[in-house]
Structures are given as C-alpha cells and as structure tokens.
Amino acid sequence: MPAGNHTGGALVEVPEHLLKRSADRRKDLGASTGDEPAAEAPPSETSAAPAVAETQAPAAAAGPSLPELPDLEPEPEPQPEPVKPWVQAALSRKKIPVWAVPVLIFLPFWAIIFAGTLESPERDSEIIAMGREVYDGSGGCAGCHGAEGGGGVGPALSNGEVMATFGDWRDHVIWIVNGSPAEPGTLYGDNNEVSLGAANGMPAFGEDLSAREILAVTYFERVEIGGADEADLHDLEELFEAEGVVPSQFAIGQTFRSTLSGLLSTAGVGAG
C-alpha cells in the first residue's frame, strides 16, 4: 500500500482497487495525474533553458569584446598639416559677391560691344572717308578753313559755327556748289553773315567736285567738324548712297533746294 503511507491511517482503509479506479477515471477524463506534470515539465523547462542560454550567450560573447574597442581607437590620428600662410589667405579671402557674378559673365560681351563702338561704322563709312579726302585733299578746304575747321582765310567751321550758318544741310550743299555771292557785303546763311564777295571769298566747287563729293564733304564738315548729330543727317547719307539718283555734278548758279528735295524723294528718303 504505498499510496496510503504518507496520507495517514484514516485513508488506509480506502480499497486499493478504488484508488486505482479513481486514477483510471481521471486519466480517462484527460486530467493529469500528480506524476504526469512532473514528466512533462522537464521538456518545457529544458526547451526554455536553451533559448535563454542562446539569448544570453551572444551578450556574454559581446560583453568581453566591448572593452577591446577602446583599445583600437586610441591610435593617434595624424595631425593635420599646418595651413600655409598663402593657403590661409586664399581661404580667408573674400569670395566674389553674388551680385558680381552676372556682371562678370556679361563683361566679355560688354567688351566686344564696346570694342565695336570704338570702330564706329560711320567713321569708316564711304561718305566720311570721301568727305575727309575732299576736305584735306582735292577740295583744299583745310587750306582755308584749317585742318580741324578752326578757321584761317575762311571762317571757322568747328564748334557748331557751320551749323549756325547753315542749319539745313541743303543750304550747306548749295553754298559749296556756288561759293560766295558775287557782290561783297551780300548777306548769306541763317545768321546773315556778311560775304567778302566772290573775288575774295569762297570759290565755287560745282565744277571741280562731283555731286557725291560735295554731299560727302558736307556730311564730313557737319558731323566731324561741326559736331552735328549723325541721326539728323540720315537723309543726306541715304541720298549719297542711293544708286543712280545723284547726278555726276551739281550745276553752278542753280538754286536747287527744290532739286535736292526732288532727289531725296526719288531716292525714297522722303525728307522734303
């Protein structure tokens, strides 16, 4: 009777076959006997134990290695080389300000444009070149009016003088063609200049110079000497450049303000 030994004498009397039957009954109902949990528990404990051991093992393995890391770091890093003074200067120098960037980008274009203005196309135009040649050479104008138009035998043309006399370039052209009026004391020009007369005054150039040369020297005297605005002489320049419009010569003695106006309209310039 081993089952009743530790329970005391009161239960000794329970017949063994009843205990057995009770045990079987409980077994049939699925209830575990007092011994079974002990048999099943060990597997669960043993399966949990390795899991704990596994989770702890890495920590235990990492534990010892952590102290070693500081040993690697103390390697003294190479000290950066001392910055050279000139490098320091370059680093501390002021950089190009933002606003200057577009200016710097545009600078080459500006230089090209500016260089273009130095060689003004008008300065090299045919009408200026021909006018200068007449004034200095074939017309001999410089001999009496000065190389720069400052005056001599003839009156000064520079500093707007010629513009004051002939506000309209067509009167200027007619003057060069005809020269001084025959009679001394005759008034001429917009400001009523008193003429020396043909004998002592300005020679007529209608026969010595071509019509285009007279147009050219008129343009030259007004723009290069008189200081006229080239824009105001646009029609004169167009007449000079119009093909087959300007006659070979302007006839002396002709009062051809209207003739010039007709030529301008023929040339399509249109200025009356």
**Which residue ranges make up the site for ligand HEC (CB under 6 A)?**
134, 139-141, 143-145, 153-155, 157, 161-162, 165, 172, 175-176, 180, 189, 193, 195-196, 201-203, 205, 217, 221
**Judged by CB, which is closer to ligand HEC: 204, or 271?**
204
Alpha carbon separation from 263 to 33, 49, 210, 230, 240 (Å, rounded): 139, 121, 15, 20, 10
Which residue's entry shows tokens 């003695």? Answer: 253
Least separation in angstroms between residue 95's CB and ligand HEC is 60
Q: What residues contact 221, with CB distance under 8 A and at least 6 apart? A: 131, 135, 141, 149, 157, 162, 172
State the burial class of residue 180 (Cβ atoms within 10 Å of its Cβ: 0-12, 13-18, 19+).
buried
**Judged by CB, which is closer to ligand HEC: 162, or 223?**
162
Least separation in angstroms between residue 248's CB and ligand HEC is 17
Q: In the numeric block, which tokens belong to residue 80?
A: 């950066």
To the nearest 10°, report the CA torsion of 225, 227, 232, 236. Answer: 0
Least separation in angstroms between residue 198's CB and ligand HEC is 8
The count of residues in the chain is 272
**245, 266 contact by CB (below 8 A):** yes
Least separation in angstroms between residue 227's CB and ligand HEC is 13
**Judged by CB, which is closer to ligand HEC: 50, or 137?**
137
**Judged by CB, which is closer to ligand HEC: 125, or 195?**
195
Least separation in angstroms between residue 258's CB and ligand HEC is 21
Rounded Cα gap, residues 160 and 176, in angstroms? 17
**Judged by CB, which is closer to ligand HEC: 139, or 240?**
139
Least separation in angstroms between residue 219's CB and ligand HEC is 11
Least separation in angstroms between residue 214's CB and ligand HEC is 8
**Judged by CB, which is closer to ligand HEC: 19, or 198?**
198
**127, 235 contact by CB (below 8 A):** no
**Judged by CB, which is closer to ligand HEC: 4, or 151?**
151
Measure the CA angle with vertex 229, ends 226 and 159; round to 5°: 25
